[in-house]
Amino acid sequence: MAGKDNKIKCIFFSEFHPVAGPKITYQVKTDSEPGDYISKEMFDIFHVYIITKPQLQNKLITVNALGHKIMGCSVGIENAKYSRNALLFNLCFVFDSLSNTTPYEPVVKKLASYLIAMELENGFISNEDSKSALPDILSKLLVQMNTYGKCSIQVNESNTIHLKTVSTAIDPPAVLGHHVPMFLVDKHSFNISQWDLTTQQLLPYIDGFNHVQLIAAEADVDLHLARMCMQNLLYLGIITLVPIFQFSNVYIPTPDINKLMNDTTLKHQCIRYVAKPGHEIPRFSEVFKLYCGLAPGITVKDFCARHNPHSLNVDHRKLIQFGVMKGLIRRLQKYPIRLPSTPSGYHSDNLKSLNKLLQGYNNYDEICCKEGMSHQELEEKIENDPHIVICWK
Amino acid sequence: MSKCSPIAVILVSSGSRGERLLFRYPYEFDENKEVTQLNLPHNPYALIEEDEESKDGRACSTISQGQLAGYSDEILAHILATKTELCGRKFELKVDDIRFVCHPTIIQDVNSKLKKRSKEAPTMILFNVVFALQGDVFQSVVHCYHDLSKRLSIALKHEERRCGFLSSQAQIMLSVHDEVAALPEDCLDSPFRLMLPKSKLCRDLKDAYENNNWIQVSFCLPHKVHNVEQMRIDPDVIEKSLAAIRPYHAMLLLEEENELLEFLPLDCSPSLIRLIKLTTPLKSLQLLSQDCDLALSQVFQLVGHLVYWGKATIIFPLCEANVYVLSPNCDLRMTSPLVEEFTDKFPGQSLTAVLSNFSLPLPFGEHRNPLFEQQQLDQVRIVMWLLQNRLLIQMHTYVFLVALDIYLDQEVTSLRPHRLSERSFGSCGSTAESPGFGSDDVTVSQSLESCSLKSTDVGSDEDIQLKKGLSDNLLSELSEAEQASVLSIPAASNEEDLKLFARLCPYFRGKHHLEEIMYYENLRRSQLLTLLDKFRDVLITCSHQDAATITYQEFL
């Protein structure tokens, strides 16, 4: 098997011939071996799924068997002018059986609708002369789709076939007000003017330190809109989200910390990134020791007091930022939870509004953002109440 | 409805009477649905909409209420009773958003023998057990259902050969089909509903749809068993994690022993039963293998089997030095069903309070109050319960050897620190790669013995010389800067300490946690900790989760 390169191996045009029945009229392929890619015998096995019964027409059908994955959308156009009162055809893409063909599904569907439109307009398929242009179109299609993932082929004055594969990424997580966006690619590597206006307004404020709520305020953009823009950027892999930097945060190393020890380029990148500007580049062993100094129960404040990163020419904010961005460390979130046994009326009034946030759903960041209070204020309220416990996860 | 559940299970056959759909479950003869379908034409807007959709070629979903809709029996039989050329291999057909997975099987050769006995019976050439899944399920799920279809097919073929089971069942189903067809239009009932009480095969297929546990064929869909929310499991993750089982791990059963023993089929291996009866989360697999009198490799296989079926998980044996913290996937919500379950199991205790205790990384031994003996037992049971519900993860300590700065500067004339570290660490990569210490150990210990023999009869002057020679042998795998750094530590002048350090050097690359080092080198924790403390200037310790068992703690 050639592997999972997701390339189209062959494109064929198949139709129902009034005399000969279902057959492949044209096929083009990528390999240079002589003979047809889909042999007559093989087509006979599959033709049920290619020139289908009326119930299965206009449905995207993918057959995966015998090492091939054939994707097509069977078309049937009924009209008395055709020899059997209907014109049946199907333009199919063939892949290796292990390929991921999901990106091509809309392409095949759209191509079928192009052909239908062209047939209805000027009998493109039923007219033998215009149909003979198909092999040429198919080979262009094959080359352009495999090379660029998109194509524009002019068929006649009024019809141009535009196709593009769309790869789907995982849905990005929701962006909340206290998240901090951070560029994964060079900020200057893309043309800012191509973005929508709101995003353009937001981009200058993304620096890896400002949180979304602050960015929205600075850029004078509605918070909801700003969050949606960020989610879009996140989907496109341009930014990542890091937790807001606070001295009360707690981080712990992940097993990926070993990467830092073994990957030389990452090591270089790391010591350059965490260096205090205008100072000598810190030693790697010191930086590594700093990462290993992070542990549950040690806040960044304790950490700085204990290890004093500044004396080692290390910027503690950047140290944390780099670690989170590369997945070397992760943040432990602090969840205040009220124990259910609390006698009613015991707790003070100012906590009442808070109570619904103390059910284990919200962490400190979320509560502070929602209630508009500082970490310090919340901490004081929580600490005064013996019925609230803290969980870190 | 879970994405992994099949939408339908279908049995089709092809033979002398053409392609027939013998059985489908769930059968859709829902009265409500028929009413809505009848109503459709009366609503002019609905009608127009529908037309437009089909003209556009856009698909309207064929899944309604989690069931397969819009396909007649005939068309299903037509597309799923494949040509004989496609038999005996995986066949996958995706129509819009439904994916049919099956393993068509020929039984003609079997039939021809039977035919001699009863020439009247219609012959069956091939049959096909098909699972209809949602179109966007992961490849690994598709693979599992194909496997199930294949197993069912093999079992059916075998039964057919043995006693004509399939033919007789098909006969029953076909006669029901005929009966229903003969009924007048107005009392149309689903033939499939009538079939259920009559045919055992139908009931079995229904079971297959509902439980994923079939009587003749054991099958388990790992994705469903492990109840994982994050469905992005690589197909080989489970196999990989099974390979990560070590002799020092322990097995934690996820169900009560009795429940598990009842679940086992009658003909299961007696060693599996012995294993389940003797296992405790305190016992390493190696001990378990001794207790059960089984080879370690066999224990691994049995444990792997239980893990695959979601009946057990792999942990490090419970002991006082274990450090636990909350799992990042831990559900802290007060509304979580676990809260109630916990209080039922441990009256007077609150899950949230217990979890809060585990938020700080204390060794397990320090969690309990020495004044209450009874509490000790409770604590162990609580931790077991927390581990069973994957609320805790264990932190392990790893050790890195790092050369001192002054020696790094000496080693390379250039003053750029990152170039230095790059050199010294470049060499360590190769040593850390070799986890099989067998051969290295021998040479080290041999040279060690010869050295110690000499050291008895040499004067103090030569002592330094010897120490250098000794260290050259012992620490030969380290870079120059690392050797120099190690030797500059006061403890290095103690021969015993240096020997031990040299023996443990290969583990100080951050790939082996303390427990693993203790196991492989047969050391006590106190010995190891003392050594680490003596050489602390060149060592960095780091605690994090064990990468090898991360999947057990989060998924499996």
Interhelix angle for A284-292 vs A316-325, to 10°? 70
DSSP state of A100: -
Give pLDDT tens digits for A158-193. 888 888 887 766 777 788 888 888 888 877 777 777
Asked which of A160-174, A230-244, B24-38, B494-508 is least confident by mean pLDDT, the reply is B24-38
pLDDT on residue B121: 53
Residue of B nearest to A255 (CA): B547
Band of residue B473 on the pLDDT scale cut at 50, 70, 90: low
| 3-class DSSP state of B354 | helix
Contacts (Cβ under 8 Å, ≥6 apart) of B105: B87, B88, B126, B127, B128, B153, B154, B156, B157
Structural domains in chain A plus CATH codes: 10-164 (3.30.450), 180-242 (1.10.10), 250-332 (no CATH), 334-392 (1.10.10)
Residue of A nearest to B343 (CA): A340
What's the average model confidence in pLDDT over B44-52? Answer: 40
What's the average model confidence in pLDDT over A102-129? Answer: 88
| 3-class DSSP state of B92 | strand
Give pLDDT tens digits for B116-156. 444 445 577 888 888 888 877 777 677 777 877 887 787 77
pLDDT on residue B378: 79
What's the average model confidence in pLDDT over A107-120? Answer: 90
Say which residue the tokens 């059908």 belong to.
A61
Give CA–CA dist B323/B312, Å, rounded.
21
Q: Are B130 and B9 in contact (CB under 8 A)?
A: yes
Does residue A132 have a pLDDT over 80?
yes
Asked which of B356-360, B375-379, B412-416, B421-425 is least confident by mean pLDDT, the reply is B421-425
Q: How far is B283 from chain A (nearest CA, A)?
A: 26
Q: How far is B179 from chain A (nearest CA, A)?
A: 26
**Residue, of B194 and A383, whose pLDDT is higher:** A383
Give CA–CA dist B183/B196, Å, rounded.
18
Please count the other Cβ atoms lying within 10 Å of the Cβ belonging to residue A124: 21
Instruction: Sort strands A160-164 and A150-154 into parallel, antiparallel or unpaired.
Output: antiparallel
Among residues B356, B365, B355, the alpha carbon closest in space to that of B391 is found at B355
pLDDT on residue B449: 40
Asked which of A308-312, B67-71, B74-78 is least confident by mean pLDDT, the reply is B67-71
Give CA–CA dist B173/A201, Å, rounded.
68
Give pLDDT tens digits for B18-42. 788 877 777 654 434 333 333 334 4
DSSP state of B477: T
Residue of A nearest to B536 (CA): A289
Contacts (Cβ under 8 Å, ≥6 apart) of B417: A271, A281, A282, A283, A284, B405, B408
Give CA–CA dist B318/B367, Å, rounded.
13
Give CA–CA dist A132/B411, Å, rounded.
74
pLDDT on residue B48: 39
**Residue, of B333 and A224, whose pLDDT is higher:** A224
Residue of B nearest to A360 (CA): B333
Task: Tell me the percentage of chain A whose pLDDT exceeds 70.
Answer: 94
Give pLDDT tens digits for B317-327. 888 888 888 88
The answer to whether A61 contacts B95, with C-beta atoms less than 8 Å apart, is: yes
Does residue B425 have a pLDDT over 80?
no
Select the residue of B232, B418, B510 nearest A284 (Cβ to Cβ).
B418
Averaged pLDDT of chain A: 84
Contact list in A for residue B542 (CB cut-off 8 A) is 253, 257, 291-292
Does residue B306 have a pLDDT over 50?
yes
Asked which of A100-104, A131-135, B208-212 is least confident by mean pLDDT, the reply is B208-212
Band of residue B228 on the pLDDT scale cut at 50, 70, 90: very low
Among residues A152, A63, A159, the alpha carbon closest in space to that of A118 is found at A159
What's the average model confidence in pLDDT over B59-87? Answer: 70
Select the residue of A64, A339, A359 nearest B92 (Cβ to Cβ).
A64
Q: Are B207 and B215 in contact (CB under 8 A)?
A: yes
pLDDT on residue B233: 43
Does residue B537 have a pLDDT over 80?
yes
| Of A266-270, B16-20, B336-340, highest mean pLDDT | A266-270
Band of residue B366 on the pLDDT scale cut at 50, 70, 90: confident
pLDDT on residue B354: 85
Residue of B nearest to A45 (CA): B83
- Check if B490 contacts A (Cβ < 8 Å): no
What's the average model confidence in pLDDT over A300-326? Answer: 89
Band of residue B200 on the pLDDT scale cut at 50, 70, 90: low
Asked which of A193-207, A363-377, B226-240, B515-529 is least confident by mean pLDDT, the reply is B226-240
pLDDT on residue B9: 79
| 3-class DSSP state of B435 | coil
The answer to whether A330 contacts B359, with C-beta atoms less than 8 Å apart, is: no
Task: Tell me the percentage of chain B whose pLDDT exceeds 90.
Answer: 0
What's the average model confidence in pLDDT over A19-43? Answer: 84
Task: Tell me the percentage of chain B whose pLDDT exceeds 70.
Answer: 61
Tokens of B22: 């013998």
- Check if B361 contacts A (Cβ < 8 Å): yes
What's the average model confidence in pLDDT over A332-348? Answer: 70
Which of A261, A311, A330, A355 is best to mutate for the B interface (most B CBs within 10 A)? A261
Give pLDDT tens digits for B385-400. 888 888 888 888 999 8
DSSP state of B86: G
Among residues B166, B106, B230, the alpha carbon closest in space to that of B556 is found at B230
Does residue B444 have a pLDDT over 80?
no
The angle formed by the CA atoms of residues A259, A260 and A263, to the nearest 5 degrees, is: 70
Q: Tell the burial category of A60 from Cβ atoms under 10 Å away from its Cβ (0-12, 13-18, 19+).
A: buried
Select the residue of B79, B425, B510 nearest A49 (Cβ to Cβ).
B79
Does residue B10 have a pLDDT over 60?
yes
Asked which of B158-162, B357-361, B377-381 is least confident by mean pLDDT, the reply is B158-162
Please count the other Cβ atoms lying within 10 Å of the Cβ belonging to residue A314: 23
The answer to whether B405 contacts A253, with C-beta atoms less than 8 Å apart, is: no
| CA distances (Å), origin A182, targets A173, A368, A371, B45 | 15, 21, 25, 49
pLDDT on residue B69: 66
pLDDT on residue B238: 62
DSSP state of A193: G
The answer to whether B57 contacts A56, with C-beta atoms less than 8 Å apart, is: no
Instruction: Sort strands B509-513 and B392-401 into parallel, antiparallel or unpaired.
Output: antiparallel
**Residue, of B372 and A170, whose pLDDT is higher:** A170
**Residue, of A317 and B453, whose pLDDT is higher:** A317
What's the average model confidence in pLDDT over A230-240? Answer: 86
Contact list in B for residue A96 (CB cut-off 8 A) is none
Q: Which residues pair with B73 in a beta bridge?
A: none
pLDDT on residue B46: 40
- Check if B366 contacts A (Cβ < 8 Å): no
Chain B residues 310-349 with a CB less than 8 Å from chain A: 325-328, 330-336
Does residue A20 have a pLDDT over 60?
yes
pLDDT on residue B415: 40
Band of residue B223 on the pLDDT scale cut at 50, 70, 90: very low
pLDDT on residue A245: 84
